[in-house]
Structure formats: structure tokens, C-alpha cells
Amino acid sequence: MSIRRYAVFGHPVVHSLSPRIHGAFARQTGIALDYAAIDATPEDFPAALEAFTASGGAGANVTLPLKEAAFALCARTSERARRAGAVNTLTRSDGQWHGDNTDGAGLVRDLMDRQGLDLRVNRALLLGAGGAARGVAPALLDAGMDELWIVNRNPQRADALVDALGEPGRAISRYWEDLGRLGDFDLVINATSAGREGAAAFALPFTLTNDRTAAVDLNYGEAAIPFLAWARAAGCRRTVDGLGMLVEQAAESFHGWHGMRPETDPVYAALRERDATLVTGD
């Protein structure tokens, strides 16, 4: 039986749970595969992907900070990747890389099906406008929320994401210094990597929340702790980290590569049980 090669690219990537998740999916479905983690900076990524291709790479996941770079390297992209302007899933076909983005589908499936959140909210706030935010913003709008406010430290990136979404009046850009003047939100989503910098990165105003607010971090593990700690201090009703999204977007990628959709609940539960730092604050 031939073993096909897959990988996750990112920087840093040593912490990634993707090899463990795809290994569990492979055992569950009886598919033989080799799945590695490959660290590559944005500057090194094209050469690293080329080397992976030469070694027989059949598909790859892409994480921060390479999702927009991956989009640029694809010969073809799916509609949801084009809407996002970012790629998190690469598939080798006909001698070319085809790009997809499963982040939004993974997030919505986790929040609605596993966490029981209703995304048809009045006002949602998305912190960040990079590859992670671009991946989830279209799916959040499609889930039925009335307004998605996008705030980023770089104003141009926030404006560019809103323009790309093409939803005037529903997708609204503001800037970091505006946070204290925006009022409260039913849903606050952190799509930045600021949690790696510690708690000081999330000295956000408590006026962003109310007693119904759900707070979601797309990060998991230690990187999610600062934002979720702020959310609990601000009185948010629910706090959710990104582990469920990670598992669900991986399942979407796995299905695209192998034509089989794995059971995600057992994998999610095993990851929660194995590592206490992955437990949410609920």
C-alpha cells in the first residue's frame, strides 16, 4: 500500500495539533498517510512548498502566517478561498496546487453544532484582518448575522477585507483606537495572534460586551488564554477556544483529499482530555 504525503506549513508550527488530528482521522478511516509539520517563514514558504512537491506531497494545510501567501501560489482556487483571499488547504492535482479555505466552514460547524451558538446575531465584532480573519469572515456573514464589525491595528487591512466581502452595511471596518466607542456586541471573535504576546495584548474595553456576549478565540491552548481571560473578566456569557474549529476545518480538508468525512467528536474529546491547557473556561 502506497503512503501519500501530507503536511501542515506554518511559522511557528511545532505546536500544531494537525498531525495528531489527521493521524486520528486516518486510523478511523483506514487510510494510509504520512503527515508532517513543516516550519517555513513567509520568505521561505515558496521554496519549502516546492521541495515538498518534489518529495511527493499530495496535500497540505497552511496556518499562520502563510495563508495569503498560499493563495498566491495556487493555480486554481475555490470560491470560498477567493472570497477569503486566503488558502488553508492545498491539493496537488494535474501537476498544480489547487487552493481551498475550510476555516469558515469549520468555525461555523463547531460554533453551531458543537457549542450550540446561534450566529444569527445583531452585532458581531471580528478582531483582526489577516489570513485567519479572511478565512472566517465570509462564512460568518453567510450564517446570518446582521452586522460584522472588523477591527484591525492596520486600518488599511480592515478596509481591504470589508471591500473584499462586498457586503456594504453588513461588513463594517473600524480601527483599534475606535474600540471604546463601538458599543457592545453579541459575539466577539479574536482572529489575531496577539495572545502569544501575553495578557497585555488584550487590554480591551469591557464596554464591548454585555451579559449575553459569547467570546470566541480562533487560537487554542496557551495562545487563547489571554483573550478568554479578558472575556471572562468582562462578564461574557460563553467563552470558546479554537480547538473545535481546528478539528472541523481539518475534517473538511480530509474530506476534500480522501472523499471520506471522519467522525470529529471522538477526536475533539480525546484532545480535550489529553491536554488540560485546551479546556475552555465554560
- CATH number for position 225: 3.40.50.720
203 & 157 share domain: yes
The CA distance from 41 to 10, in Å, is: 7
Is the pLDDT score of 281 beyond 80?
Answer: no
In terms of pLDDT, which residue wins out, 275 or 235? Answer: 235
Query: Both 142 and 209 in a single domain?
Result: yes
Count how many Cα atoms sit within 13 Å of the Cα of residue 257 in the half-sphere of its side chain: 30
- The answer to whether residues 127 and 236 belong to one domain is yes
Domain housing 179: 105-242
pLDDT in tens, 125-174: 999 999 999 999 999 999 999 999 999 999 999 999 999 999 999 999 99
Catalytic sites, residue numbers? 67
The pLDDT value recorded for residue 2 is 72
Residues 112 and 231 in one domain: yes
Residues 114 and 225 in one domain: yes
What percentage of residues in the chain have a pLDDT greater than 90? 89
- Same domain? 211 vs 124: yes
Question: In terms of pTM, does the model score above 0.85?
Answer: yes
Give 206's contacts (C-beta < 8 A, 6+ positions apart): 233, 234, 235
pLDDT at residue 279 in the model: 46
Q: pLDDT of 29-38, one tens digit each?
A: 999 999 999 9
Same domain, 109 and 235: yes
The whole-number average pLDDT for the span 210-237 is 95
How close are the terminal C-alpha atoms of the chain, in Å? 44
**Contacts of 267-273 spanning 24+ positions with Cβ under 8 A:** 267/21, 267/24, 267/25, 267/28, 268/114, 268/243, 268/244, 270/24, 271/17, 271/20, 271/21, 271/243, 271/247, 272/243
Question: Could you give the number of structural domains in the chain?
Answer: 2
* Strand residues in the chain grouped as ranges (E): 4-10, 33-39, 57-62, 76-77, 89-93, 96-100, 123-127, 147-152, 171-175, 187-190, 214-217, 238-240
Q: Are residues 122 and 237 in the same domain?
A: yes
pLDDT tens digit sequence for 68-96: 999 999 999 999 999 999 999 999 999 99
Residue 3, pLDDT > 90, answer no
- Distance CA(276)–CA(273), nearest Å, equals 7
Higher-pLDDT residue of 276 and 161 is 161
Question: Residue 160: which of 133, 122, 182, 180 has the closest Cα?
Answer: 133
Q: How does residue 201 score in pLDDT terms, banded at 50, 70 and 90?
A: low
